[in-house]
Every structure is written in structure tokens, then in C-alpha cells.
A and B are shown apart, each in its own frame.
Chain A
Amino acid sequence: MEEMHTKKVLEPIWWFFQMISGILLLILVAGHLFATHFASKEALEYSNVVARLSSAPIKAIYILFLLIVVYHGINGMRAIFLDLTLSERARQIVNGGALVIGMITFIYGAYLAFSI
């Protein structure tokens, strides 16, 4: 089945986490969109963003959300690059690049969450 192609490209553990993170993202993305982007114009106001992030549980959920969404996106992109049937050296570059970009993205997002 073509749609199980990504499974063949990724290492079993990272494919497994791709599925787990995907299921968690169904809940986290829906929660995020309905709480902010679909709720009201006021929900996007600066004071309300600050109010949300000043709540420890909400901040914790956002950090978790960030970690999961960065993992899922970067790992998915990694699978797409690895599917190009690369040389061993190129595979190492893709894997290393994914790790570095993923870490920078997570750290930057966490910095934003803690900066206000």
C-alpha cells in the first residue's frame, strides 16, 4: 500500500513516534485553534496572549505542544528527504540537519513562550 511508504523510509522507533505525536497533535492543534484562532478577535489581543502564557499549566501545555509539533514536522520532512534514496553521507547530513533545525526551532519557540 503506497500510503505506508513513510513507514518503510523511517526507522521503526521514529515511525512509531510519528504516529503517536500525530495522534497527540489532533488534540493539541484542535485545542490551540479553537482557543485562539477560531475563538474571537479578542483572543488574539496582546493582553490575552500575555494572560494565557502567564498561567503555568497553559505555558506547560504550549511547551509540550511545541516539542511534539516540531518533532512531527521535522521528522516528517526528514522522511521526505530520506525517500530520495540518498547516499550514506547524504543520509547523515539529512539526519544531522533535522536534529539541529529541530533543536533550534524548539529552543526559539520556548524562548518566545518565556519572553513575555
Chain B
Amino acid sequence: MSLKNAIGLWFGLRGKSFTGYAFVLHRLTGIVLTIYLFLHLAFLTSLTQGEEAYTALIRKTVTPTFLPFDILLVGATIYHGLNGLRLVIAEFGLTRYHKELLWVLGLIGLILWIYVSYLLYKIVVV
């Protein structure tokens, strides 16, 4: 299989069903979060350079400019976590109400996302 075909297959929406979209989004958010894990640790290198270096980093990143990025990152985290929880529940056959679970988790996720976005806004802007 050529690389182009392989990438097309992996990114392609498998069957275009709802769970197909959920799967693609799960992977995308997983990639974003893993890259962010490396960035998070790289940023914290400033901790080893003393208080000044660390404080300069915080002053630069905990700002309104980075707020939309933070909110998106938290959204990716909530989606990946709750969708992952849904997968584990399905894997262990813990519910017969899979469709209802989807809506309940979706609603919880949305409310949580709005709430923590507000918390971030409060810290950064207010």
C-alpha cells in the first residue's frame, strides 16, 4: 500500500457513520494532546532555570492571546476523555443504552467545557 493510500485510509471517515466521525475526532484530539504533553514538559524546563525564567513564561502564556488556544485544548481534553469513557463502557458491555449514553456524555461535556472556559477566562482576563 502506498503511503498516500494508507494515510487516506486512516484519516478517511470510516463508513461516515457517527461512530466513524467520533473515531476520527478521537484520534485527532489524541495527537493534539500528545504533542501538547511534549510542549508542556518543554515549557516547564523554565522551572530549572529559576523563578525569573518561570515567571516570565507564565506572564507570556497566561494571557488573553493564549486564551482561545487554551479553551480549544481543554475542549479536546474533555472530548477525548468522555469519548474514551464511552468506549470503555461499550467494551465491557456495561450499558444497553448506548445511544442515550452518547447524548448524556455529550451534554455533560458541553456544560463542563463552558464552565471551565469561564474559569480560564476569569483567571486570565478578570
Residue numbers of A with Cβ under 8 A of B are: 1-5, 7, 19, 22-23, 25-26, 29-30, 33, 37-38, 40-41, 44-47, 49, 69-70, 73-74, 76-77, 80, 83-85, 105, 108-109, 112, 115-116
Contact = CB atoms under 8 A, between A and B. Distances in A.
Given A2-B15, A5-B14, A83-B10, A19 B33 contact: no
B101 interface: no
B77 A22 contact: no
B34 interface: yes
Given A38-B123, A74-B34, A116 B27 contact: no
A33 B123 CA distance: 13
Given A19-B88, A73-B33, A1 B27 contact: no
Nearest to B45: A112
From DSSP, what is the main secondary structure of chain A's interface residues? helix
B91 A40 contact: no
Given A1-B19, A29-B81, A112-B47, A76 B120 contact: no
A76 B114 CA distance: 27
Interface in B89-119: 90-91, 116, 119
From DSSP, what is the main secondary structure of chain B's interface residues? helix
Given A2-B20, A23-B88, A80-B31, A44 B62 contact: yes
Interface of B: 1, 3, 6-7, 10, 14-15, 17, 19-20, 22-23, 26-27, 30-31, 33-34, 37-38, 41, 44-45, 47-48, 51, 54-55, 58, 62, 70, 74, 77, 81, 84-85, 87-88, 90-91, 116, 119-120, 123
Nearest to A70: B37
A49 B47 contact: yes
B23 A41 contact: no
